[in-house]
Structure 1
């Protein structure tokens, strides 16, 4: 999937996160800010990387502002932001499990 416009998903409430995506031709720039980064930063990064790989996102700017969200919430917010940012509406739902 190609990110063609800026999009947001989520909130900055406790146990949630805000994901911002924007086009960045030729590069994949991922920024993760989290209140619990020391304890769970590696796991957050794994979930973000895996979700982007499954969605075939290879370029764009991804900013994650985490407030202690669970993995399933990270995945859902990231998927929502990416889907809002693409023009191609064909979605391979099997790949996003």
Structure 2
């Protein structure tokens, strides 16, 4: 999936994560993470975002994540929604997405 515009999903409320995705001039995924639990879970948060982007076919994007203790399923859901918004897509294939591992 191609990122066409900047998009944001989520909040900075407790147990949530705000994901911002924009185009990247480089052919890579760059992730900037701000999290109060980064020392314990930063690597896991980044991995969930990377894996979700890979499953969606995104190979180039700038991601800014502001985490407030979100669970993996929330991180994944926010990432999926943000990618679809950034790609200008409005139809989700939830049956396919539901089959992914969290």
- What is the TM-score with the length of structure 2 in the denominator? 0.85
What displacement does 1:68 show? Answer: 0.4
Map 1:1-97 onto structure 2 (within 5 A).
1-25=1-25, 26-87=27-88, 93=94, 94=96, 97=100
Q: 2:92 and 2:81 mapped to 1: Cα distance? A: 12
What displacement does 1:5 show? Answer: 0.3
Runs of 4+ in 1 over 6 A off after TM superposition: none
Aligned residues: 97
SS in 1 for 2:82: helix
Identify which range, 25-34 or 11-20, moves more after superposition.
Answer: 25-34
Q: 1:54 and 1:20 mapped to 2: Cα distance? A: 18
User: Structure 1: where are the runs of 5+ without partners?
Assistant: none
What displacement does 1:91 show? Answer: 5.4
Q: 1:77 and 1:95 mapped to 2: Cα distance? A: 13
